[in-house]
Amino acid sequence: MPRTALLDRPLPVLPVGPSPARRWWPAVGPAAAVHAGALVAHLALLAAMSRPGTSLLERLTAWDGRHFVGIASDGYPTGFTYGADGELTGNDLAFFPLFPLLVRAVHAVTGLGWSGAAVLTAQLAFFAALVLVHRLVAGLYSRRAATVTLVLLAAAQPMSLVFFMAYSESAFLALAAGTLLAARRGHWAAAGACAFLAGLTRPAGVAVVAALAVAALGESRRRPGRPLRPLAAVLSACAGTPLYLAWVAERLGSPDAWFAVQRAGWGTHWDWGLSCWEFLVSALRTGDGWVQVSVAVLLPAHLLALGAAVRRSTWPPLLVYGVLMVVLTLAQSNYYHCKPRLLAPALVVLLPPALALARARRSTRFAVLGAAALFGCWYGAYLLTTWRYAI
């Protein structure tokens, strides 16, 4: 064939997959809608229930938010702190560093004040978490179940307000979902990086590392000849929390410095659930106030939902993550009214109700989600504006 004929022939048309934007849009759209709707609902109830003269920004940076803002603006203390009586007290070293570092980055980029930067950081992190959770749940079940899960996560949980505050739960959830999604798709470097960062966000990062280890074990069984990438991901993930604990130990000159600060400030220590059991028995017998009783009802409800997730044969890494989040929360002594907030990123406990609602009729689904979202938003606003203790 003459050369000119070859040049005149049309080039073969190669199949082109969907663009990255088109692949992600099925998750971005629902995540944006749920985030916006939940944010409006939370802020409306928060504004209506706040005392006169208290701004929404002050409410969204209350309690632990003040610690994170202080760390971002001023850094960590250089030593132990003591009260007027000479007793050891808690300080900002109890709080892990990734969220304050993100606040610093947002502050530098946007020029916002420290409080505004902290709240914006939480919003961005939670939006990313919703996108990743949607992709994860849609891949495991269906898009409808994924969207229902987002509504339950962002509005219908009794402490979902914490995701919109200057707390680290939003960043932790984003990294946990990112780890699980990356591991499910075989992107081991990304999974290891997300789990490493989760370990620098909250002590519960151990649950993310364990979930990644289970995913890596499953991969090694499916492909016994390619164990290095999953193994490297798990090893890198394991370094996050120990690095911060070692840094605190070196800074304060004591190997158990972080644990001492936690015990002194918040009474947190491992007691195999004894304090939680005593609280449940006391609250359900002679509960003093409806907040105490409501928490005593919510904690067993989480256990029941977890049992339902086990019976459904949930994807093992996701199940391990959820189980450990529940165990780490219930098996340690700390303030009982903080436990629903600590359980908010558990995710797996939302799957049984999400799957049931996804199969229900549309009118039933909308009615249940609307009522649950209204209660969830009100519950968080009440604990932040009326309840006298930290959340």
221 by Cβ neighbours in 10 Å (0-12 / 13-18 / 19+) ranks as exposed
Tell me how far apart the alpha carbons of residues 135 and 116 are, in angstroms, rounded to a whole number: 29
> Is 312 inside any structural domain?
no
CB atoms under 10 Å from CB of 252, counted, come to: 19
Q: Which residue has the tokens 């932040």?
A: 384
Residue 60, C-beta contacts closer than 8 angstroms, at least 6 positions apart: 46, 115, 119, 122, 164, 165, 166
CB atoms under 10 Å from CB of 48, counted, come to: 10
CB atoms under 10 Å from CB of 210, counted, come to: 19
> Is 354 inside any structural domain?
no
Q: 309-324, pLDDT tens digit by residue?
A: 998 888 999 999 999 9
> Is 12 inside any structural domain?
no
C-alpha closest to that of 376 among 36, 41, 32? 41
pLDDT band at residue 25 under the 50/70/90 scheme: confident
Tell me how far apart the alpha carbons of residues 60 and 47 are, in angstroms, rounded to a whole number: 11
Tell me how far apart the alpha carbons of residues 212 and 227 are, in angstroms, rounded to a whole number: 14
pLDDT band at residue 54 under the 50/70/90 scheme: confident
Sequence length of the chain is 391
Tell me how far apart the alpha carbons of residues 341 and 165 are, in angstroms, rounded to a whole number: 11
C-alpha closest to that of 180 among 303, 26, 348, 34? 348
Contact 165, 62 (CB under 8 A): yes
- Please give the pLDDT value at position 9: 45
Q: Is the pLDDT of residue 176 over 70?
A: yes
> Is 322 inside any structural domain?
no
CB atoms under 10 Å from CB of 83, counted, come to: 9
Give the domain range for residue 193. Answer: 29-48+55-266+368-385
Q: Is the pLDDT of residue 199 over 70?
A: yes
Tell me how far apart the alpha carbons of residues 317 and 314 are, in angstroms, rounded to a whole number: 8
Lowest mean pLDDT among 181-195, 220-234, 287-301: 220-234
Q: 72-125, pLDDT tens digit by residue?
A: 999 999 999 999 898 999 999 999 999 999 999 999 999 999 999 999 999 999
Q: What is the CA radius of gyration of the chain?
A: 23
Distances (CA, A) of 342 to 11, 300, 326: 58, 15, 9
- Please give the pLDDT value at position 10: 47
> Is 39 inside any structural domain?
yes
Q: What is the largest CA-CA distance in the chain?
A: 98
The one-letter amino acid code at 367 reads A
Contact 212, 233 (CB under 8 A): yes
> Parallel, antiparallel, or unpaired for β 81-82 and 88-89?
antiparallel
Query: What's the whole-model pTM score?
Result: 0.92
Contact 178, 190 (CB under 8 A): yes
> Is 297 inside any structural domain?
no
Contact 354, 137 (CB under 8 A): yes
How many domains does the structure of the chain reveal? 1
Contact 134, 147 (CB under 8 A): yes
> Is 278 inside any structural domain?
no
**Position with higher pLDDT, 6 vs 316:** 316
CB atoms under 10 Å from CB of 56, counted, come to: 13
> Is 209 inside any structural domain?
yes
